Amino acid sequence: MSRFIEPAPEDIKFQKLYAEMGLTDAEYDKVIDILGRQPNYTEIGIFSVMWSEHCSYKHSKPFLSQFPTSGEHVLMGPGEGAGVVDIGDNQAVVFKVESHNHPSAVEPYQGAATGVGGIIRDIVSIGARPIGLLNSLRFGELTEPNNRRLLRGVVSGIGGYGNCIGIPTVSGEVEFDPSYDGNPLVNAMCVGVMDQEKIQKGTAKGIGNKVVYVGLKTGRDGIHGATFASEELSDASESRRPSVQIGDPFTGKKLLEATLAAIDQPELVGIQDMGAAGLTSSSSEMAAKGESGMNLYLDQVPVREEGISPYEMMLSETQERMLLVVEDGTEQKFLDMFEDFELDAAVIGEVTDSDRLKLYYEDELYADIPVQPLSDEAPVYILEGSQPEVDNKKYDYSKEDLNQVFDELIEHPTHGSKSYIYEQYDNQVGSNTVQKSGFGSGVIRVEGTDKAIAMAIDGKSRYVYADPYNGGKEVVAATFRSIISTGATPLAMTDCLNYGSPENPEIYNQLEESTRGMAEACSALSTPVVSGNVSLYNENRTASILPTPVIGMVGLIEDVNFMDGLSIEADDAVYLVGETTKSFAGSQIEKLVDNEVSKETRSIDLGLEYSRGMDLRAQLIEGAVKKISPVGRGGIAVKLAQLASFHGLGLDVALEIDGEDLFAENGSRYIVVAKPDQQIKDAVEIGRLTESGFRIKTRDVTIDRDLAQVAGAWEGAIPKCMTSVD
């Protein structure tokens, strides 16, 4: 007799226990139709996590189908743990971005650490060795003590895990806005490199093949974590929050090496990380992809403590675990290998021809579920969005004290130096880092070759709020600009779609329109989507976050040696590429002066984006250009301040624009540094770099500062906030 007593199916229905797990009445009725009977407690728990927003994308799936997912370089697109792209010479780059927002709001250190650990395992499970980490972060303003606490915890968690496991963190981006109060965004990206013949898939097939568990013993941490990540943060969700998952980077490192060793074995059939929804998602998804069934014997699962029920084992999100399918008769070979890595491992099941997931504990059947409907037939909701009216705002910042605007923007944490953050990360481990965090994309050499991978991550939430359709285009274009600025050819992208509740018609419209714009930009810029993640219900107790689609992109540098000795110096010329228009919707000057985001149309020419970007990239490689820096948040004035401060060089420039246009934020503009009198398409020489001083002159405004004053404000933007007494 089993020692676990679960509620009877009729009690589950009567008490609506399924609703506490996140299922609606209609979803519960669909489960009954699939099973042909009422589910038991373990079964309803399994359906609830697999049909959660986090796992099934039930509100976003219709929009994801718009994205182009194939292309010249794509070897494997969405559907597996990460995307795979060809980089020549039988090598491939593997990459993905994932969110860990809700866990980081609850426990910032472990939420961020386990987010990093999870994305690393996604890359490793494909067969790649990770070479670089990136992150995209959002917090409320650092004037609030809780936001400072969240920042400290998240940054410590990212550094604590990545540094210990030995993977450099080489790039990232951070923004601070009141909309993220209490609901920070923590998006982690990992990039790996592999030989193409080693590409793995999470597939369970071959009748009688064995299912092997490896990694940390299963505990009760993170049970219903996927469900928790699929609802708004509120008093009600707080009462249901799972125990926090704990990251263990030292076990993570052993599991990384053990997984790569297992992938070298010809008897390996399939492998998948036990991530969101743990053993439930990995087993059911692997069986579904293999068009097979699976029997699991849960009394064989390594557990951390006595008394863990089958329900808890299946829903636990204990970290540092992998699920493998290996050829029948070779399981001991794998167990011995994992023992050499000092990892717990066990044979916990077998592949069957039943097309069902069956769970046993001490010979008692705890669940009997058809695999395909569980994995692939979650309900899909198509709602009706509500498009807000355009504000038709009249922008006029000419009467503002624009010198004061400049000072306030460069000392704001969004625009200031992020050294407070990235100096807590190891960005050189592995000795292949060519360009690290600080100013632009990360660049890492492919070991043993002259090739390098450029990697960037970016998000433009205020643009998306102002104009979801064109803002969606701009976030893809912004990341494209970062990649070409290294001299790399953009190859493909991954996305993390962070929004509020899709049940709010305006937010649903943001999701619908921004993904439409993103899809068009992907096609126009030749950057197909090969992987991604959706994180909805990002709301605090009073409002939704700004819509924040985040784009991760990789590019290939064929011969990285062109970067050797590439530096800028005093007397180099400064050029502005692209025309400046009075584009202020979603801008930082609008936030500072008006404290709002107006709903206004933003314009972007994707054809121009591509041709201009690729032309500049070619001139950088050829040596005509020494530095490319896209104009982004804050406009020209902020970009020039960042450039001068980072490189310790002054500048003296003059532009034939109005003073307020220094803070305009239209796209497809770059600050370029080169020798004087270069012929650069669509460029105007606006001044020189100098040994000292900082001077920007327009038709009606001059900003004249000591370089030390500008650099000091920029470098101190975050530290001065973090030293505030909480």
What's the CATH architecture for 63-199+384-561?
A: 2-Layer Sandwich (3.30)
The percent helix, strand, coil of the chain (3-state, each to 5) is 35, 25, 40
Round to whole Å and give the CA distance between 89 and 108. Answer: 41
Q: Where are the domains of the chain?
A: 9-59+201-376, 63-199+384-561, 573-722
Residue 155 to residues 103, 174, 262, 415, Cα–Cα distance (Å): 14, 11, 32, 18
pLDDT tens for 540-565 read 878 899 999 999 999 999 999 999 87
> What is the reported pTM?
0.94
Quick one: pLDDT at residue 8? 87
Query: Where does residue 3 fall: left (phi above 0), alpha (psi -120 to 50 degrees), or beta otherwise?
Result: alpha
Band (231; pLDDT cuts 50, 70, 90): very low
Band (224; pLDDT cuts 50, 70, 90): low
Residue 524, H or E segment: helix 505-524
> Are both 63-199+384-561 and 573-722 of the same fold?
no
pLDDT tens for 566-585 read 899 999 999 999 999 999 99
Instruction: Give residue 508's Cα distance to chain centre.
Output: 21
CA dihedral 304, 307, 309, 315 (to 10 degrees): -30
**Token digits for 463?**
């643009």
Does the pLDDT of residue 668 top 50, yes or no? Answer: yes
pLDDT tens for 91-106 read 999 999 999 999 999 9
Q: Which fold has domain 9-59+201-376?
A: Phosphoribosyl-aminoimidazole Synthetase; Chain A, domain 2 (3.90.650)
Neighbouring residues of 59: CB distance < 8 A, sequence distance ≥ 6: 53, 381, 383, 502, 508, 511, 536
Quick one: pLDDT at residue 228? 45
Residue 270, H or E segment: strand 268-273
Does the pLDDT of residue 225 top 50, yes or no? Answer: no
Round to whole Å and give the CA distance between 268 and 331. Answer: 10
Round to whole Å and give the CA distance between 435 and 456. Answer: 11
Does the pLDDT of residue 74 top 90, yes or no? Answer: yes
Quick one: pLDDT at residue 626? 96
pLDDT tens for 442-497 read 999 999 999 999 999 999 999 999 999 999 999 999 999 999 999 999 999 999 99
Determine how many CB atoms are found less than 10 A away from the CB of residue 719. 13
Quick one: pLDDT at residue 429? 80
Three-state DSSP class for 225? Answer: helix
Burial, 62: exposed, middle or buried (Cβ in 10 Å; 0-12, 13-18, 19+)? middle
Say which range, 223-227, 308-312, 388-392, 707-711, has the weakest mean pLDDT: 223-227
Rounded to 5 degrees, what are φ and ψ at 697? -115, 130
How many residues are given for the chain?
726
pLDDT tens for 118-160 read 999 999 999 999 999 999 999 999 999 999 999 999 999 999 9
Round to whole Å and give the CA distance between 398 and 197. Answer: 60
83 and 76 Cβ atoms separated by less than 8 Å: yes
Does the pLDDT of residue 523 top 60, yes or no? Answer: yes
249 and 159 Cβ atoms separated by less than 8 Å: no
In this structure, are strands 185-195 and 169-176 parallel, antiparallel, or unpaired?
A: unpaired
Tell me which residue of 227, 365, 206 sits closest to 287, measured CA to CA: 206
Rounded to 5 degrees, what are φ and ψ at 565? 75, 10
**Token digits for 152?**
């400290």
Quick one: pLDDT at residue 82? 96
What does the longest C-alpha to C-alpha distance in the chain come to? 86
**Catalytic residue positions, numbered:** 54, 100
Residue 52 to residues 38, 47, 150, 372, 374, Cα–Cα distance (Å): 19, 8, 26, 16, 11
Round to whole Å and give the CA distance between 618 and 347. Answer: 54
Does the pLDDT of residue 107 top 70, yes or no? Answer: yes
Residue 204 to residues 282, 295, 486, Cα–Cα distance (Å): 10, 11, 41
151 and 142 Cβ atoms separated by less than 8 Å: yes
Tell me which residue of 393, 373, 260 sits closest to 324, measured CA to CA: 260
Q: Which amino acid is at 686?
A: I
Does the pLDDT of residue 724 top 70, yes or no? Answer: no
Task: Give the rounded percent of residues in the chain with a pLDDT score beyond 70.
Answer: 96
Could you tell me which residue, 236 or 304, shows the higher pLDDT? 304
Task: Give the rounded percent of residues in the chain with a pLDDT score beyond 90.
Answer: 87
Average pLDDT across the chain, whole number = 93
pLDDT tens for 288-307 read 999 999 999 999 999 999 99
Band (85; pLDDT cuts 50, 70, 90): very high
Round to whole Å and give the CA distance between 355 and 183. Answer: 40
Quick one: pLDDT at residue 415? 97
Three-state DSSP class for 14? Answer: helix
Q: Where are the alpha helices (DSSP H) in 107-144?
A: 108-126
Q: Which fold has domain 573-722?
A: Phosphoribosyl-aminoimidazole Synthetase; Chain A, domain 2 (3.90.650)
Quick one: pLDDT at residue 242? 52
